[in-house]
Amino acid sequence: MSAFWDHYNRRLKGREPLPTKRNFKTLRLSYVESDAFKHLKPRTKRDYQKYMEHIISIWGDLDPRKIETHHIYKLHQANADHWRQANYLVQVFVVLLNHARLIGFLKKEHGNPAKGIPLFKQPGDGWEPWPDEVRAEFEELAPPRPRLVYELSIGLGQRIGDTHKIRWDHIKDGEYDFTQGKTDKPLLVPLTNRLAAYLSTVKKEGLTIVCGRDGRPADYRTVTEEMRKIKAAMKHPETQRYVTHGLRKNATIELYQAGCDDEMVKAVTGHSGVEMLKKYGGRVRQRELARRAQDARNRAEQNKSGT
């Protein structure tokens, strides 16, 4: 056992020891020092830090053992107007309190009071696809960089977090070869003819296709803010309903309208399961699959009658 503690003390050498007071401030410090946090993606780290900061502002000096499920539930309900942020807050609570058990701040019999809290469901069918009239007006008004983001989003059907990081060397022989940031899923997606034609007009100014100043990669928040400003200047009365992520839904719907099945759609968009395809494909997915199914039945009947 002494060898273990010798190793433990050597690992701690050279850095400030963590405070020993049992509260959320200390818990947050311990979690940020953990391997679990260090292996998160940079954007996830930033998001976690933001929500942990919110938790600290409310309960920083409180002993985690005093937190019960109803406390977290009430906090979640109080943020119902911002359902996505409220859900993320609960998820960060789960992670933090799991870590609290690992370092002895919570005992096994306490469980994790954040687990089991029902999350808010996304209103409607999620992000709405852009109607033809909104797309047409955006294409007319958008300056080069937002229009480029738009074309990449429509053509490849990826999340904006991946779209704005596409590098020129990711595209070879007319195919986009990359790994999705959210899922770590490797994909190879051929460019559509429309996207290939558009990219042929884009000047190569840096490593990434969507560039900032001096050829540097464009900042994610800058890109999304540019998209919002253009929509704010558009005449369509409901433009603000349609976010950039909705273009991923447009791409999904277009694939179904072209006659693709679920596996073909997943091969392009990288969706992991049918439930997400139902959300993104909506009624178009059901309609197109039903039509293909009934066409298959009709052909089968014709074959029977012809024999």
Q: Where are the domains of the chain?
A: 14-110, 132-298
The pTM of the whole model exceeds 0.95: no
> What is the reported pLDDT for 80?
86
> What gap in Å lies between CA 259 and CA 289, rounded to an integer?
8
> What is the reported pLDDT for 124?
57
For residue 230, CA distances in Å to 59, 143, 147 come to 40, 9, 10
> What is the reported pLDDT for 4?
55
DSSP character at residue 208: B
Q: Quote the distance between the C-alpha of residue 234 and its chain's center.
A: 26
The residue count for the chain: 307
Q: Which CATH class is domain 132-298?
A: mainly alpha
> What gap in Å lies between CA 153 and CA 135, rounded to an integer?
12
The two three-digit tokens of residue 168, written as one number: 């020129």
Place of tokens 């940020």: 32
> What is the reported pLDDT for 26?
93
Number of H helices, E strands in the chain: 14, 3
- Residues in the chain predicted with pLDDT less than 50, given as ranges, are 1, 16
> What is the reported pLDDT for 272?
85
